[in-house]
Amino acid sequence: MSDDFNMSMRKFLKQVGVTSQQAIEEAVRSAGGSGKTYAVKAVITCEELGLAHEVTGEIKAQE
């Protein structure tokens, strides 16, 4: 893949990571969920490519 593609991909994934972390942290704070474990799912779609990628996992909030 080209350098332009790799750079645009990295920029997108960085934005996803940073904004997702901020949203999750705020939701945990609002819920008062310290010490709890939450099931999470991230979905990335691109209709033009027929892409639907899903990642699941768990996040444990700080106590």
Q: Which domain holds residue 27?
A: 3-60
The pLDDT of residue 62: 81
Count of domains for the chain? 1
Q: Is 14 left (phi over 0), alpha (psi -120 to 50) or beta?
A: alpha
pTM of the predicted model, to two decimals? 0.80
8 Å CB contact between 61 and 38:
yes
Please write the tens of the pLDDT for every residue from 13-35: 999 999 999 999 999 989 887 78
